[in-house]
Structure 1
Amino acid sequence: MGGTEHLTVHREGATLVLTLNRPEAKNALSLPMLVGLHDGWRAADEDDTVRSVVLTGAGGTFCAGMDLKALAGDGMAGDHYRQRLRDDPDLHWKAMLRHHRPRKPVIAAVEGHCVAGGTEILQGTDIRVAGESAVFGLFEVARGLFPIGGSTVRLPRQIPRTHALEMLLTGRPYPASEAARIGLIGHVVPDGGALAKALEIAERINACGPLAVEAVKASVYETADLSEADGLAAELARGWPVFDTADAKEGARAFAEKRPPVFRRA
């Protein structure tokens, strides 16, 4: 089903689960991991039987960001994957969801550390669940670095600017409870329960009309920076075609017949 030595891929029904799998390094980003992520997002986009994606981490942690030890030396080369990066110099930004937005909903299931590049990838996901001991933060400035994965642009659009600037400028850790309070994540669950909760949410999404789900997600992002008038016009252009689909008719018919709908992406 794809994947690499640092990124595993498996299916849970209609959900594609991508697992950052380098627990001995707190799932710090490596080139094999980035290649695996890139290919996972592409696989989800191209496979119509996939209706949602869950991103999580192995070993009780999500992602501790870029591998700074490797970055300081030659370890980020990833010998087996150098050609992939040469072929597509933008691959790492697509993998981190900076230059790519999957058309299927992406749910993050976070345990443990989700910091630096982990928090940057998180901002490219749509729905976010975390265990109560999870830790978030953008530590780059504390190390003399810049959070170039998109955080200076995305974070102030996703949470209030005062909280975004504090997170960006202090480089301090944020516990899950505070991350939820400021709106960075949506659910806090008991430790070890993030993946189960994410899959529960994914299952509810999977039961909905896939054409409608994808159109709704696209509309939310397409209209985010538009005026209200322009946004409403764009919403009509995106939404009206959904009503002409066979799935829309099936949804209404199933409601009238008091049965679960059977959607066919048509």
Structure 2
Amino acid sequence: MALIYEKRNHIAYLTLNRPEAHNALDPETVIELADAWQDFSQDKEMRCAIITGAGEKSFCAGADLGRLIPLWTGARKPETEADKQVQANPALAQNALLRDLPLSKPVIAAVNGNAIAGGFEILYNTDIRVAAEDARFGLQEVKWSIVPAGGSTVHLTRQIPYARAMEILLTGELMDARQALEYGFVNQVVPKAQVMEAAERYAAIIAKNGPLAIAAIKQAVLENSGKDVKTALAREMELSIPVFLSQDAQEGPRAFKEKRDPVFTGE
């Protein structure tokens, strides 16, 4: 299977499972990943997700240059049912990369190795990123006369300084994990063996927090990016009021007063 999708303790685990191909996205992976994100979004028991890659070398090398890209350029005819679905529905790849699939739940990236091209672009849509010390990041599409159209020209300059973003976009050169940390693109850099442990530490904390509050916070941040302050504050209040009126908002302070852990239901 191209993707391992598991659920434990309110946390969804998505593991790209093509280590022999550096976890590159082929048509089968695109379909399975898009389906998994949709399931995660709709499952009320899931409060946080962790995405990682199998193997020791790569988180994700982006789109498979032999199987996926040629379908889009017309250099390869569909051979499998997955080929036909991906060619007929470009939105599948965009959803797999979370480009056009809004999620109100947090996503944590456990970057166990190189995150290149589409493997780098999927990180824009994650909320917390932990990287292995030897991980490298970048967009090499320009070297192959391809535009990194997974959101790179929109998101990268909003997530790291402009000049650094343009250096990555225009040269196609890679940055190492320490540079990514310096630019603020990742939260932590840890030894490879500790990447998942660090990601799970974040996920466990988030999973205990109020899911309605988390969803409202993430939605407010995403929706208000680029808006004027007055409009953004008004939208923040619109999203906050239903949470204040929820049962969870009553449970949180009550649990604090009673010196116990709150039991949130998402209602």
Q: TM-score range by the shorter chain?
A: over 0.9
How far did residue 25 of structure 1 move?
0.4
- In structure 2, the residue matched to 1:135 is 136
How far did residue 90 of structure 1 move?
1.1
TM-score normalised according to structure 1 size: 0.94
**Aligned pairs for 1:224-235 within 5 A:** 224-235=225-236
Change (3 A) 1:84 1:145: closer
Q: Does 1:67 align with 2:68?
A: no
- In structure 1, the residue matched to 2:194 is 193
How far did residue 264 of structure 1 move?
1.0
Q: Does 1:18 align with 2:14?
A: yes
- In structure 2, the residue matched to 1:168 is 169
How far did residue 173 of structure 1 move?
1.0
Q: Which deviates further from its counterpart, 78-87 or 30-39?
A: 78-87
User: How many aligned residue pairs are there?
Assistant: 262
**Aligned pairs for 1:60-99 within 5 A:** 60=56, 61-70=58-67, 71-72=69-70, 77=78, 79-85=80-86, 88-99=89-100
TM-score normalised according to structure 2 size: 0.94
**Structure 2 residue ranges without an equivalent (≥5):** none
- In structure 2, the residue matched to 1:254 is 255
Change (3 A) 1:161 1:219: same
**Aligned pairs for 1:202-221 within 5 A:** 202-221=203-222
CA distance in 2, matches of 1:96, 1:77: 21
How far did residue 77 of structure 1 move?
4.2
- In structure 2, the residue matched to 1:47 is 43
CA distance in 1, matches of 2:113, 2:175: 12
Letter in 2 for 1:253: R
Change (3 A) 1:29 1:204: same
CA distance in 2, matches of 1:233, 1:72: 46
Three-state SS of the structure 1 residue aligned to 2:12 is strand
- In structure 1, the residue matched to 2:244 is 243
Q: What RMSD over aligned residues (CA atoms) do the two structures have, in Å?
A: 1.6
Change (3 A) 1:172 1:89: closer
How far did residue 72 of structure 1 move?
4.5
What does the per-residue CA deviation read over 1:137-177, in whole Å, with 9 as the maximum and x for residues that have no partner?
11111222211111011100111111111111111111100
CA distance in 1, matches of 2:130, 2:163: 23
CA distance in 2, matches of 1:25, 1:147: 20
